[in-house]
Structure formats: C-alpha cells, structure tokens
Structure 1
Amino acid sequence: MGTRARGKIGESNTSFNDLPEEMAAFIFTKLPVKYLIRSTSVSKTWYSLIINPNFISSQITHSLSSCDQNAVLIIPTHLSHRNYCTLVSAETGYVFDKYEIPFTTKSGTLKFVDSVNGLVCVNDLRSSNTLYLWNPCLRKYKCIESTCFSADLFLDSGKRSSVIGLGFHERTNDYRVIRIVSCVDNKNVLVSKVVPKVEVFSLRMNEWREIQNPIGPRLSLFKFRKTVNSIMYGLSSSHPEKYSDEVGILSFDFNNEVFGQLKLPDDVRYCLGEIACFNLMKFEGSLCVCVFNKCVGGDINTHPFCIWLMRNEDGIISWTKRFNVVLDQFGFPCQLTKSGALIMISLTNSPVRSVISCNLKNLQCKYLGFDNSLDFKIKLPATVDTSFIESLVMHAGGDILLETP
C-alpha cells in the first residue's frame, strides 16, 4: 500500500478532508450551531455533510445530551418591551445568549406554545390564527397563516377557542403543529353538542390537513399543554377556569394521530386540598403534574408545591411524588429545568412580574433579573422554556426548509 506524498521533511499533506466521513461528522456534532453554519461555506463536501438529515439528527442527539442542565429560554410577552429572547442560567443568572426575534405580530405580543429539538412555536397572544415556527439559533422562521377551516367556523353556535401544540413525527422526521378549535359560549364554557375541529400542519409538506371525526377532545378543553416524547398532554376540563372532580389529562400522539385520556388519581388531585391548582411540566424525560396552592392553614407566607412524575410502562401508568416543598415565595410555576430548578413568574400586586428560579433541593430562590410590565388581564403560564437546545432544524442553506426523503 502506497504512502501519501509529503512536502517538507516531517510534514504531512493530509487534511481534515482526508478523515472518514463518519469521523468528520462526529467532530462536527461537537461544534456550536453558529460554527456549523459558517462551515457550510468552506466547501461543497462540508456543506453536503452538515445539511444531511442524518447529521442533523446526530447533532440534535448530541445537543440534548450536552446542553446546560440549568438553561432557561425567557420569551417576552410584549415585543415593544423586549424584542429578543434570552437564554439564561437558572443557577447563576448568567446570560448564555440573546436571540433577536426576526418577526412581529399584529398585536405586538407573543405567546409561547412549545419547543421541540430547538424549533420554537409561538403565536400572537391575542390570536391563534397566525403561527410562527422559529429556530432562534439560525434566525430562520416560518409564518403560518393558512388553515383548513372556513372563516365562519362555529359562527352560529358561539365563539371559538383554539388550542395549539407542537410535536415530532418520528417515522418521517417531520415537525408538526396541531390546532384544536372548540366552540364555547359567552361564559367560555364548552358547547358539548358542537364537535371540535382538528387540523395538523406538516413542516415537511408545508400544508394543513384536517383529522376527520377526532375522538377524544369532544367534552374537554386543553389547558397548560406540554409535549413529551412526541405526545402532547393537556389538562382538561369542560370549563377553562374550573377543575375539581373534572380535572384530567388529554393527550395527542403525533406519531399515530390518536387522542387519549386519563384521570388524575385522587392522591395527586387532592394532595393539597380541593382548591389546589395544576400545571404540566417535563422532568427526567417524563410528564409531571405540579400541584400548588397559595397558602395553607391561613399562613399567607407559606406556599406548598407538589410535583408528581408520571411513568408509563407497557401501558400501565403510575404516579410518584418527586418533590414536596414549601417555599417562602409564590409565583406561577412554569417549568422545571433538567437539573430540577422550578421556574416561576412572580405573582405580586405590582404591575411588574419577575422570573424566579427555585432550587428544589436547598429551597433557595434566585431572581433572574428579567422583569415584564404586563397587563393583569394577560395570563402568564408560558413565558419560559426549559427544553430549548441548539439545532439545525429548518436549515438547508439559504432560505430553503429542510426536506427529508
């Protein structure tokens, strides 16, 4: 076997391009996204490797395993107040990065829906008709204004209530958005005689399609949604402001497009009494239910939080109390970081709301330094994301959306 020619004595003419493709791809997965984008301009070989769907999947896998366990993406509600998102450490408050928001909504407000593999879904806080799929690291976004439904949907029966969710279809490597449109009366109570409409948007196909005769969301409204392992979960009730005995969890599997439903056990629902509130989160790769109350025993300075972890083993669902803490600060619990910090939006009598991180191990709370001056009529369950990672989703060079075979 011949040897490679050499230049000066002791010098080799070998280069990075001489590495086996598998080795080159492995090295590239370690690079931050901004350097990967620059690398696509170096050569056609590097460009082809980096935009390959298999490489993008490998980069996502590496990013999921190596991302900072305390990272929190803070999304502004009013674009006039702040037109960028901030990636910050829940432990130290250190700002990792800032991502300018490259679009604006009609009302100038944003509502965070969810994120999957670095792809963020947001919509106008005052309207769910216009959606944005956005990769902050790439500064690329797609505005979705279309729908399968007619403009006069439910016009004669009542007003519309829309639910949006983001998920991943594993078999086709496709990111999808679900929209469930229900009919509610003037008191925001579900009109049960009117069957909700369901449509799914495919990023890969760039189109909506309606799911005919959906079984599942007929008698309930989704609230406080979270996608875990390609399944969107949502607290359900026939009335958006009341739970009591009605509270349960609806689900939508993006892989088979089937709805499911399960009831919360009594020890989960009533662990803090009958007037407790709920929110859905993700922790340790599983769905969590956070049960919280403002006060116990008349002591307004104590704020208990119970976090239950759901396990699904061969179709058998079980619940384990993962955290049971009492904090001296109260806020609306938004999400858990991968390290177990509870991220909350402070609820005070001031028009300024702050993002707070609470370490559930030592019960220390940290003010992250991000204030939002907000209208009290605007609810704040979704202004932070603890699942965000750097990825190449939506990148295929130029402005072309990634298409996989």
Structure 2
Amino acid sequence: MADFFSEEIIINILRRLPVKVLLRCTSVCRSWYILITSPEFISSHLNFAADSKKRTPFLLLRRLVRNSEQYDLYSDNESFARISTFEFPFRSINSCFTIVGCCNGLLCLSDDRVYYMHTVILWNPCIKKSVLLPKPNLIYSSYGSFMQTLGFGFDPIASDYKVIRITYVDCGRGLPLVELYRLSTGVWQDLSFLAFEYVIYNRSRQACVNGATHWIARSTDCYDLIVLFDMCGEVFREMMLPLSLVDNESMRSKDLGVYKESLAVIVWSVSGPQPGFCVWVMNEYGVESSWTKHFSIDLHEFGREYVRPLWIRKQGEIITVWQDGRLIAYDHNGGEVKDLGVHGSRCEDYRRSVHVDGYMKSLVLLEKGSCFSDAVTRIKLPALQTDDCDSSYGSDCEHSSESDYKHGHGSYGGLFVRQ
C-alpha cells in the first residue's frame, strides 16, 4: 500500500479508524507498527477524534459487582446503551480504587479509599496498558499519619500527563508537601516551594477545564473557594465560588463538574429543611461574575430516595445514584425522571463505588512498548478482600499492622483527617 500512497495519505486514513482496528493494523507490517505507535500519530489520532463532530460521546461507569470493580462504557445519548466492558486487572487492598480523574482515555487510579498503599496507576483500558507510579516522597513509614489529595491532567504544550499530590501532616496544620509526577520523566518532583496555603476538602472531586485541575478547598480565612493547578504553568491559582456558596454549611455538599466544557458546581443536600441540589455554571472561564445558577431540583419530588448527583450530561440531564443502587437521570428542562437500567445494591460500599465520567477512546501509552503491558498485575499487590455488603475484612494483608495504613473519617475544620 505504501507503494501507491504517500505517508501523509496513509496517516490521514489511519487516524480516522477506531482504536480496536488500529491495534490490529500494527500487525500488518513493521512500518505500520512504527507509525501507529509513534507519539506523533497517537497525538494526531487523539486530536482528530476530539475535533470530530460525528464522534460518539461515551460515559465510563465504574461500580462494584460481586466484590470486583466493573468498568462499563456507555453511549452518552438517548439510548444510554452499553458499548463494552473493560477487563479490570488490578488488585486493591480496599474495596475499590479511587478514580482520581480521566483524561484522553487515560484513568488515574489511587488505592487510598480506606488504607493508604501509595499505589497510583495510569491505565488505558482500551489498549490494556498501564503504568505503576513510583512511591512518592512522603509515605507513612517516613512521616507517620497524613492526608492527601491527588489531581490528574494533561499538559497540551509539553504533551505530557501529570499527577499532582498535595500531602498534609500534623492534622492539616502548616504548609503541605507538594509533589508532581510527569509521565515523560517517570519521577516525583518536589514543588513544596509553591507554598500551597489551602486545605482541599476530603474526596473533593476534581474537574479538568481549560488545562487545569480544580478542587473545592478551604482558605486560611475560613471560606470556601476553588483552587486550581495549571498543568502547563505548574502553578496554583484560586477562583471564587458564587457568593452564596462561600459559606461552609454542614448540611450542603459541593462537588465540581463539567457542563458543556464549562466549570460547574453541584451543591446538594439529602437532609435538612430543603433537600435537593442545584447546579451553577461559570459561563466564561475565569470570570467570577459569569457564575449562573442553571437549574435546581427539589428532593421532595423523588420521595427522598435520591442519594447524590454523579454527572451532568451535555443535554442537561443529571445522573444520580439512588439509595437502592439504581442510576436515575433527571431532565431539568421537562422534569422527566428516567431509569437508566443500571441497577445495583443498597449497600453503602456499592453506592460509594459508583463513578461516572466522560470518556474518549485513545492510543495513549501505546508508544511505551510491550514492557508496559500489565505493568501492575505483574507485581504482587496486597489484597484485603471485602464483600459487597456484609463480609468482614480478610487477614491476608502483607503489612505488619492494619492501623499503620487505615485512616479514619474525623474532621478538621470540616476536612478529612487521616488518623
């Protein structure tokens, strides 16, 4: 084929093909293998898919099914049809991994839900490749108890994937240790000189917008705000919430999200005099006066079965998980409540395991070569078996003491503290 078409034409044809077909094409000949696994082609394929208006949008759904993590891909349209199920090859000492973030087909997973194991993985489920990050500088055996926040994103200028780690010792008092992992270098770099002065809320979900990772945090003056890490400039900045949300009401929770590529805040409460949730959207990025309340939902309409919001779909539907484990989509425009056909357990572990994120198939990590395939599963990771609902923890942990790694759920200024 190369005898009849120029390389430019071949690249233009190949980059239009889906990931599954391209993986097969790597076996056609050596020149195609070199081409398809090159960083330049992987980037070109990713950019073409992102710019294609005909691209089918996907949603990634993670949940616990029979004691195992299940990752399903759904079409983000009216049908909400399941496209495929990804094989999950990793072992966790906890009931499930924490999904730090999802970017360009790459998932960042951390084994820190109850027990800190310093296990952070970058995983592309489409091509079954993964990278196990090295141990960070601050670990329990060196510093004792701590609490941490992770962020994951992409630097489009350097074409590099980065993980930022903010670690607090001494119950959140004093400045934390800040470390940055770059996939291009494979090491953690100390960025503590940035003097990060905020405390990020426990399990604050990140939102990646405009090349930055955002979290809900608490300032030294005790008001809520948004803190962001610019993946390109590698600096922290702050951003104000809508004025009515800067308070720290214990009855209301705040989560960040993305709505039509704009930064959004979901404020929700399942108790109190006005249970329900509302969504604020920053219509113009970085312009604090552009915050607008787009819609609000009264929980009384659901008969108090609703638990928490998970995702804002592009068409405006809010995906929520209910107390009985069902996934329900609420259309704020017409007030329609739709059962998405995903049913689960009433168990708290199950409900906490449910995670929804936007997803785009990609070839990211393919250039790393065969040595990166199953990079984590080849290492014997400790496992502490749990039942989906009522089993107790097993006893096969390879470490000396569970209390060395388990963290509690106390609070310091309304924040998470590892005990």
Normalised TM-score (structure 2):
0.77
Match of 2:331 in 1: 359
**1:126 matches 2:114:** yes
SS state of the match for residue 284, structure 2?
Answer: strand
1:335 corresponds in structure 2 to 311
**Preserved contact between residue 325 and residue 345 of structure 2 (Cα < 8 Å):** yes
Q: Is residue 141 from structure 1 mapped to residue 130 from structure 2 by the alignment?
A: yes
1:204-353 pair list within 5 angstroms: 204-221=184-201, 223-237=204-218, 246-268=223-245, 275-294=251-270, 303-312=276-285, 318-326=290-298, 328-329=301-302, 330-346=306-322, 348=323, 352-353=324-325
CA drift of 1:115 comes to: 0.6
Normalising by the residue count of structure 1, what TM-score does the alignment of the two structures yield? Answer: 0.79
TM superposition shift of 1:181: 0.7
**What SS does the corresponding residue of 2:370 show, helix, strand or coil?**
coil
Q: Equivalents in 2 of 1:386, 1:151: separation in Å?
A: 31
Q: Distance in 2 between matches of 1:109 and 1:374?
A: 17
- Count of aligned pairs between the two proteins: 362
Q: Secondary structure at the match of 2:43?
A: helix
- Return 214-223 or 332-341, whichever deviates more: 214-223
Query: Residues 249 and 316 from structure 1, CA distance in 2 versus in 1: closer, same or farther, beyond 3 angstroms?
Result: closer
Selected match of 1:200 from 172, 175, 180: 180
- The 1:280–1:258 alpha-carbon spacing in structure 2 relative to 1, beyond 3 Å, is same
CA RMSD of aligned residues (A): 3.1
Contact 2:264 2:279 in 1 (8 A): no
Counterpart selection for 2:60 from 54, 60, 73: 73
Q: Which of 330, 346, 354 is equivalent to 1:383?
A: 354
Counterparts of 1:198 and 1:183, CA distance in 2: 12
**Larger relative contact order, structure 1 or 2 (CA cutoff 8 Å, min sep 6):** 2
Amino acid at match of 1:307: W
Which deviations, in whole Å up to 9, do the C-alpha atoms of 1:96-143 show, x marking residues without a partner?
A: 111010211123422211111000011222245111111010011122
- Unpaired runs of at least 5, structure 2: 374-419
Distance apart, 1:321 and its partner CA: 2.7
- The question of whether the paired residues in 1 share the 8 Å contact of 2:280 and 2:291 is answered with no
SS in 2 for 1:175: strand
Residues 79, 109 of structure 1: 8 Å contact kept:
no
The one-letter code matched in structure 1 to 2:309 is: P
Greater CA radius of gyration, 1 or 2? Answer: 1
1:171-224 deviation line (CA, Å, top 9, x unaligned):
321111111111354xxxx3x2x3211111111211111113223344554622
Q: Which residue of 1 aligns with 2:385?
A: none
1:18 and 2:7 aligned: no
- Aligned twin of 1:98: 85
Alignment partner for residue 373 of structure 1, among 324, 335, 345? Answer: 345
1:72 Cα deviation from its structure 2 partner: 1.7
Aligned residue in 1 for 2:18: 32
Q: Report the CA distance shift for 1:174/1:183 in structure 2 as closer, same or farther (over 3 A).
A: same
Identity of aligned residues (%): 25
Could you tell me whether the CA contact under 8 Å between 1:278 and 1:292 is conserved in 2? yes
Q: Partner letter of residue 361 of structure 1?
A: N
What runs of 5+ residues in structure 1 fail to find an aligned partner?
A: 1-14
Match of 2:393 in 1: none
1:337, distance to aligned residue in structure 2 (A): 2.5
SS in 1 for 2:290: strand
